[in-house]
Amino acid sequence: MPYSVYLINQVGTWYYKIGITRQVPAWRMSALQCGNPNTLKFVHIINVPAKIPAMELESFILMNAKRMKIAMEGEWMDFGKTENPQETLENLIEKMDIFTTLNICQNPIFWGPHKRFSAI
């Protein structure tokens, strides 16, 4: 069963969470929604065939969030801290898609640090 790397938005905010699940994403959303009084919605989901590349993608995104000073607690990010939140979000989604389009997740040689990607 593949892993899903997902991006969730807290509706009405620029707060986003990146995460990994092996469950059906809707089940994961149900668990997250239970612990959050605000409505959550999926923004983007990609399937990755194995845990290591899923973790690499999540780590890459979180590392860049810290560099951009938009990292919050855990896996949450505040895109509202950027000059252009919508553009930053679209760039993040593009990076997630590039990760799978280039088949990085299927080629173990790329499971190390992703030096070929520029920051978000």
Q: 71: which DSSP letter?
A: B
Residue 60 has pLDDT above 80, yes or no: yes
Which of 117, 97, 13 has the alpha carbon at shortest distance from 48? 97
Structural domain spans, the chain: 3-110
pTM of the model: 0.80
Contact 96, 46 (CB under 8 A): yes
Residue 64 has pLDDT above 70, yes or no: yes
User: How confident is the model over 81-117, as pLDDT tens digits?
Assistant: 999 999 999 998 988 888 777 655 555 444 444 444 4
